[in-house]
Amino acid sequence: MVNIILFLYAAFIVVLFFYSIHAFILIYRHFKFSKNGKRKKKKKLKILPNVTIQLPIYNEKYVIRRLLNCVTSMDYPRDKLEIQVLDDSDDETTSIVADLVKQYQKDNYDIKHIRRGSRAGFKAGALQYGLERAKGDYIAIFDADFVPPPDFLKELLPEFRDRNVGGVQARWGHLNDSYSFLTRSQAIGLDNHFLMEQRLRSQANWFINFNGTCGLWLKHAIIDGGGWHDDTLAEDLDLSYRVQLKGWIIKFRGDFVVPGELPQSAYSYRIQQNRWAKGTIQVARKLLPQVLKSTLKPMAKYEAFVHLTCHVNFFAMLGLAVFSIPIVYFKVEGMVPDSYFIFLSLFTVSAFGYPFVYYLSQRQAYQDYYRKIPYIVGVVAYSMGLSISNTKAIIEGWFNKKHVFTRTPKSGGSKKNYRVEAKSIIPFLEILLGLYVFAGLVYVIVNLQIILVPFLLLYSFGFLSLGFSSIKDDILNLRAQEVLCSRENS
């Protein structure tokens, strides 16, 4: 049994080291190409094309007014702009949208309230349904929790002058990053994705992905790539890879920011991250063989492999959390030769790769970046805390083809929110594992294995914070529902 644990622990360390190499590649490319200067903006278009804006929504009563106000305020000729509200809602959102659409139609907007009658295919199904009826040559897509600026279309459309450009992705900003420690940490993680991963991959002509919102597509490119498929929970990533395998290019505009709402509760955050983890591994299963068999350069294939399988990290992090305590016990009791721990120490450099990448993303984006540096700890800790639920998600994504799209609840700045049925054992498992790791932390301190203290401290904080926050959210939601029922009965 001891040998099995030693082998598994070393295997998890090696897996994390493999993916950390990607962080050092990003660091290298950042410093090598950061002196290239700012991109030259393309000249504005003299002749504006027809554009369709698609708004896929499901139960968005708190944010739909804000979204429609933004898209109807676009600095774009009304006779060349079509707006599709792809509404799959089953609550009062539908009546709100119906009233708003009538008002905008009276003001001569070409806006349509599209109801399919079912949620077949979820978001992908709605987008494909709208695509087949879209009049525009270009398709802009916005999720309900984003606030697109008026100049979105005029800024991004000139990018299509370049040959084979099939899509353009704008950078996400944050409306509520100062709300809590959780949202501040999320913001840093997303900044890293856009400012380091998306930017540097785009510069190198490697595959990047449309992020599901705040992007502009050439309609023909979507059709050429096979349209929207509903066989994964990451329909945006799936389409992105299929389009790029066809030879199209997706550009990234890191200088153009569209602010959006971050999940404010642990439950909402977990829903979002689980969907991304499950969807990404589904796309890996579906398209990775085609990528590896393609004529892409080896480095581009490596990047695509890391991109599509990166959530395996969560499985490795969970393994480390479980086996770290036995490993420390073996060391304290002298049950394992020192050569084993010397071997493991060779991989410790991997622990510094991504935190430094997070730092670089903040330094690039903000003048007061130094104020945000402490929250890098939160990015790492919450990633560790998600390892249970995301491991479950990637296992389900790889072995189970059936899936249900679970929306991320949005508040639109309101103190109210949708009540969610969070019937899951995951928060309790997170608390149990957090207490287990905390007990290991005490054992480590007592036995002066100080080098592991930060590692176990982050793990225990991540698990306990997500677990207790989720249970707290459940209690508050239940109380709110009881109050609502009592008011209705009275």
Residue 44 domain-assigned (yes or no): no
Q: Is the pLDDT of residue 170 over 80?
A: yes
Could you tell me which residues come within 8 angstroms of residue 58 by beta carbon, excluding any fewer than 6 positions away? Answer: 87, 88, 89, 93, 119, 123, 407
pTM tops 0.85, yes or no:
yes
Check whether residue 200 and residue 152 sit in a common domain.
yes
What is the mean predicted confidence (pLDDT) over 265-272? 92
| Cβ-count burial 264-303 (b if 16+ within 10 Å, e if not) | bbbbbbbbbbbbbbbbbbbbbbbbbeebeeeebeeebbbb
How many percent of the chain have pLDDT more than 90? 81
Domain closes at, from 309, 328, 349: 309
Model confidence over 322-351: pLDDT tens digits?
999 999 999 999 899 989 988 888 888 888
Check whether residue 83 and residue 25 sit in a common domain.
no
Give the CATH number of the domain where residue 221 resides.
3.90.550.10
* Spatial distance between the Cα atoms of 290 and 283, rounded to a whole number of angstroms: 11
Q: Which of 177, 236, 238, 474 is catalytic?
A: 236
Domain closes at, from 289, 309, 329: 309
Model confidence over 208-259: pLDDT tens digits?
999 999 999 999 999 999 999 999 999 999 999 999 999 999 999 999 999 9
Check whether residue 335 and residue 300 sit in a common domain.
no
pLDDT of residue 35: 64
Check whether residue 200 and residue 219 sit in a common domain.
yes
**Which secondary-structure segment (H or E) carries 156?**
helix 152-156
Residue 34 domain-assigned (yes or no): no
How many percent of the chain have pLDDT more than 70? 91
Domain closes at, from 284, 309, 334: 309
Residue 46 domain-assigned (yes or no): no
Q: Does the annotation count 137 as an active-site position? A: no
pLDDT of residue 474: 75
* Spatial distance between the Cα atoms of 145 and 450, rounded to a whole number of angstroms: 44
pLDDT of residue 438: 96
Torsion of CA 410, 211, 116, 146, to 10 degrees: 40
Closest CA to 67 of 83, 79, 88: 83
Q: Domain range holding 401?
A: 2-29+313-489
Check whether residue 262 and residue 329 sit in a common domain.
no
What is the mean predicted confidence (pLDDT) over 191-203? 95
* Spatial distance between the Cα atoms of 11 and 9, rounded to a whole number of angstroms: 5
Model confidence over 32-53: pLDDT tens digits?
887 665 666 777 888 999 999 9
Q: Is 262:375 a contact under the CB 8 Å cutoff? A: no
- Could you give the number of structural domains in the chain? 2
Q: Is 55:146 a contact under the CB 8 Å cutoff? A: no
Position 415 confidence tier, pLDDT thresholds 50, 70, 90: low
pLDDT of residue 108: 94
Strand runs labelled E in 9-80: 51-57
Check whether residue 260 and residue 393 sit in a common domain.
no
Per DSSP bridges, beta strands 51-57 and 249-260 are unpaired
Check whether residue 237 and residue 322 sit in a common domain.
no
Check whether residue 151 and residue 75 sit in a common domain.
yes
What is the mean predicted confidence (pLDDT) over 424-441? 95
Q: CA dist 380 to 30, 233, 262, Å?
A: 21, 25, 17
Residue 408 domain-assigned (yes or no): yes
Question: Greater confidence, 19 or 420?
Answer: 19
Check whether residue 255 and residue 374 sit in a common domain.
no
Q: Does the annotation count 143 as an active-site position? A: no
Q: Is 471:427 a contact under the CB 8 Å cutoff? A: yes
Residue 278 domain-assigned (yes or no): yes
Position 163 confidence tier, pLDDT thresholds 50, 70, 90: confident
Averaged confidence pLDDT in the chain: 91
Q: Which of 87, 88, 191, 474 is catalytic?
A: 88
Check whether residue 437 and residue 352 sit in a common domain.
yes
Residue 369 domain-assigned (yes or no): yes
Residue 303 domain-assigned (yes or no): yes
Check whether residue 90 and residue 214 sit in a common domain.
yes
Residue 47 domain-assigned (yes or no): no
Q: Is the pLDDT of residue 264 over 60?
A: yes
* Spatial distance between the Cα atoms of 99 and 182, rounded to a whole number of angstroms: 36
What is the mean predicted confidence (pLDDT) over 133-162? 96
Check whether residue 319 and residue 300 sit in a common domain.
no
What is the mean predicted confidence (pLDDT) over 266-292? 95
What is the mean predicted confidence (pLDDT) over 1-15? 93
